Amino acid sequence: MMPRAILAPVVVGAALYVSVAAQGVPVMPTLSSPKTATKPADADGFLQRWMILEPIAVDGQLFDSAVRTTVAREYFAGQITTIPKDGETVTVDGKPLQWHAVDTTNYNVNLIHFAAGLKKPTSNVLFWALTLVRARQDIADARLAIGSNAASVWWLNGREVISLFNDRQTVIDDGVSKRVTLKKGVNVVRAAIINAGGATDFCARFLDANARPITGIAVDLTSTP
């Protein structure tokens, strides 16, 4: 069950404003609990439904080797293989952390809104995120295109396909994978996003062989790969 902070955008607005006021960052909520079984990619191909784990405290270093070390650590069993359900918990360093299914009203997922709405830290943290993309047929020569603030590592169907390092803003298609095949049925997109401080968010979509957004796909977090 989603906490009220994510479920009720109107109610959470004031809470989010208060929770980040000390950071000098007034915000408005952009996340809500999914209301439908599936969510198609938007007109520009962006994936707007994700399963996100509450943030894990890390040292927040963003250079290449530090990110690799942070992501390589096993914080919980099956962290790059498990397909979590909304409300499931894992234990990290003796503390329970919960998975949350969220829809974003924007092309990107604002992790400040996510974490602050749950009264969780937003600096020196690692977010694990996952989505399940359903395709009606095989789509050859596709590319996963992402942006993140800050560093991130991305996997498609269990294989790493993109990594971004250093302190950076989210730029659409900042990282683009080599050509991949989106298989007919369910495809697993998984990401680890590390933030040192300030704003943090991410975006993702698939591009076709001609670099055009792929829109004939949908997210179904209840499906089984």
Closest CA to 181 of 146, 139, 136, 211: 139
Mean pLDDT of 91-99: 96
- Report which of residues 1 and 206 the model is more confident about: 206
Residue with tokens 């918990």: 89
Q: Report whether pLDDT(63) > 70.
A: yes
Is the pLDDT confidence value at 7 over 50? no
Q: Which of 5-14, 25-34, 145-154 has the lowest mean pLDDT?
A: 5-14
Q: What is the mean pLDDT of residues 121-135?
A: 97
Distance CA 116, CA 118 (A): 5
Query: What pLDDT sits at residue 225?
Result: 85
CA of residue 65 relative to chain centroid, distance: 22
- Note the pLDDT of residue 224: 85
Neighbouring CB atoms inside 10 A of 132's CB total: 24
**Interval 165-193: pLDDT, tens:** 999 999 999 999 999 999 999 999 999 99
pLDDT interval class at 70 (50, 70, 90): very high
- Distance between CA atoms of residues 171 and 83, nearest Å: 27
- Of the pLDDT bands very low, low, confident and very high (cuts 50, 70, 90), residue 133 is very high
Residue 201 to residue 113: CA distance in whole angstroms: 9
User: Across residues 95-101, what is the average pLDDT?
Assistant: 97
Q: Calculate the average pLDDT of the chain.
A: 90
Q: Given pLDDT bands bounded at 50, 70 and 90, which one contains residue 19?
A: very low
Q: Among all chains, which residue has been given the structure tokens 């359903």?
A: 134
Domains and CATH numbers, the chain: 33-219 (2.60.120)
Q: Do residues 115 and 125 lie in contact, with contact meaning Cβ atoms separated by under 8 Å? A: yes
Q: Please determine, for residue 136, whether its predicted confidence score (pLDDT) is greater than 80.
A: yes
Average pLDDT over residues 10-28: 42
Check: CB of residue 6 under 8 Å from CB of residue 32. yes
Q: Which residues contact 212 (CB under 8 A, 6 or more apart)?
A: none
Percent of the chain residues past pLDDT 70, beyond the cut: 88
38: confidence class by pLDDT, cuts 50, 70, 90: very high
